[in-house]
Chain A
Amino acid sequence: MSDDQDDLVLSELEDDDLVQQMHDDLYDGLKEEIEEAVNILLERGWEPYRILTEALVAGMTIVGKDFRDGILFVPEVLLAANAMKAGMAILKPLLAETGAPTVGRMVIGTVKGDIHDIGKNLVSMMMEGAGFEVIDIGINNPVESYLEALETEKPDILGMSALLTTTMPYMKTVIDTLVQKGIRDDYVVLVGGAPLNEEFGKAIGADAYCRDAAVAVETAKAMMARRHNRVAVG
């Protein structure tokens, strides 16, 4: 890497090169550069939604893949997500004005009895980084809190996290309650947490177990696409 690249002037780049540069800057967690580039694209007349998808979400997809593949680790991903959020902060009011479609909404929380939150926070940050709206209901949630959040927030996805082997079974309690109330199929239910595995996810009736935050994002995107198709067909 030569020094003259430090003097790269974003506003002199063609659109395509600028978007490429944004992907690189997201990868490197350069918050100010992302903010600057978002503003440049807006000045050039880009739709906020196009900036979100082609520049930010696409860039974070690369970050997510390298995190999944063990090339990037949590510190780099957090920096990238911070940069993404800074860009998103500029776009958010504009997206709301234009009524652009959202990528999806997720309610996420750690289950009752479990007070761990690092994993959940990482998933929240990565999901926001991928353009999802995330409503974080915190730690130690009884089934009532989940139901209330589902009712008021009307999300597409419910995410549950547990770090303790003793609290994992509570995920099943929540899912069983959703089944009882006849609303289980209204949501994609994703579960995660260090002690979980795929077999457990299936056993309790979740749609998927997500090994880490990157997998959570990929799974959420795939599930949303499937949902949209189903709505289109049905």
Chain B
Amino acid sequence: MNDPLTALLSRRDWLLADGATGTNLFAMGLDAGEAPELWNADRPDAVRALYRGAVEAGSDLFLTNSFGANASRLALHASADRAFELSRRSAELGREIADAAGREVIVAGSVGPTGEIMEPLGPLSHARAVEMFHETAEGLKEGGADVLWLETISAPGEYRAAAEAFALADMPWCGTMSFDTAGRTMMGLTAPGLADLVEDVPNSPVAFGANCGVGASDLLRTVLALNEHGTARPIIAKGNAGIPRFVEGHIHYDGTPDLMAAYAVLARNAGARIIGGCCGTTPEHLRKMRAALEGTERGERPTLGEIATTIGPFSSAEDGTAEPTATPRAGNRRRRRG
């Protein structure tokens, strides 16, 4: 299996990933509610501009515009049958931009969640999830993606299903989860839980980590926890550019380019090797992040206090790894009947 990302990581201590997809496409006129993936077919120039923005700002790796290019999400736009085509197109456009960059740039095929809850809690079966992820993966592969990039996942079962699909597609992959609920994912997984999960799947990812979630500070706390848990795999940090604020009728992320530059340096010190942004992160942020990473050496692992002082407070007191302080009900609870 050809794996340019692993090759690049063997030569470089850190890589700069890209920033937001949605934020930047909205700035180019994408309407809220419209599926960004449809632009791969309808507005290829805008998608090229999105990719070029990251590459010109210094990203070593960018994600394709295929986050929602799975049958389940596209069904909301009456385009369920276009998952393969739109995925392939997103990667083809990415290949074009990366190959014209004049330096090595990795095209990472973005794979987002299905948006459905898996059995037994919800309606989505494991087999169907694998099938959908596989379809997207094959499209990205055919379009020329170097690596598949699972992101914003909250359920361990969905992570496993995607891993299985990527094995079917015979592609290297990376996978990040979104830790947005008091340090855990929505489905309750902790950072060490992800580190264990990653080793437990038969085809472990090249790199793993966290994206999106609450703010950049919370994301760094997750990276610290992953690092402290111990892993030989590169850790990915893709945090949001601060927290969204409502300013005069518009949404504005309060993370400035300077704040994201400080975040990038802290992320590397915390143990991340692939560092980028998520929602709210524009090429302007990326440029500052690149300059900051190049202008400094990897330093001491930051304390939580340093993170909070440098880029802002955490959204919750705990990182989710401690046992709950309140005692769960003991009572005369019974085991579920077989």
Chain A residues packing against B (C-beta within 8 Å): 1, 5-6, 8, 20-21, 23-25, 27-30, 32-33, 62, 66, 69-76, 78-79, 82, 112-118, 121, 139-140, 164-170, 172, 194-195, 197, 199-200, 203-204, 212
Contacts and interface: CB of A to CB of B under 8 A. Distances in A.
A170 B32 contact: yes
B336 interface: yes
A74 B22 CA distance: 26
Interface residues of B, number: 46
B127 interface: no
Interface in B314-338: 316, 318, 320, 324, 326, 328-329, 331-337
Nearest to B157: A75
Contacts of B15: none
7 contacts: A6-B334, A20-B332, A24-B332, A66-B326, A75-B121, A113-B31, A169-B250
Contacts of B55: none
Contacts, number: 127
Interface string B229-266: 00000000000000111100111010000000000000
Contacts of B244: 165, 168, 195
Contact of A203 (B188, B246, B332, B337): B246
Contact of B246 (A24, A78, A168): A168
B74 to A, nearest CB: 10
Interface of B: 22-23, 26, 31-35, 73, 76-77, 115, 117, 121-122, 180-182, 184, 186-188, 243-246, 249-251, 253, 279-280, 316, 318, 320, 324, 326, 328-329, 331-337
Closest 5 CB pairs of A and B: A73-B188, A113-B32, A113-B33, A165-B251, A71-B324
A172 B23 CA distance: 20
Q: Among A23, A70, A165, which residue has the most Cβ atoms of chain B within 10 A?
A: A165
Contact of B337 (A6, A62, A73, A170): A6
Contact of A79 (B121, B280, B337): B121
A29 B120 CA distance: 12
A166 B333 contact: no
A167 B33 contact: yes
A70 B320 CA distance: 8
Given A30-B336, A71-B326, 8 more contacts: A5-B333, A5-B335, A6-B334, A21-B332, A25-B334, A70-B320, A78-B121, A115-B33
A97 to B, nearest CB: 32
A166 B26 contact: yes
A1 B253 CA distance: 49
A118 B185 CA distance: 13
B32 A1 contact: no
Contacts of A21: 332
B318 A70 contact: yes
A199 B31 CA distance: 25
Nearest to A17: B332
A168 B31 CA distance: 13
B246 A27 contact: no
A75 B243 contact: no
B117 A118 contact: yes
Given A70-B320, A78-B122, A169 B115 contact: no
B331 A24 contact: yes
A140 B225 CA distance: 37
A203 B249 CA distance: 10
Contacts of A72: 188, 328
A115 B76 contact: yes
Contact of A73 (B187, B318, B334): B187
A169 B246 CA distance: 8
Contact of A1 (B23, B328, B334): B334
B104 to A, nearest CB: 33
A138 to B, nearest CB: 10
Nearest to B23: A165
B76 A139 contact: yes
A164 B22 contact: yes
Given A24-B334, A165-B279, A168-B251, A74 B188 contact: yes
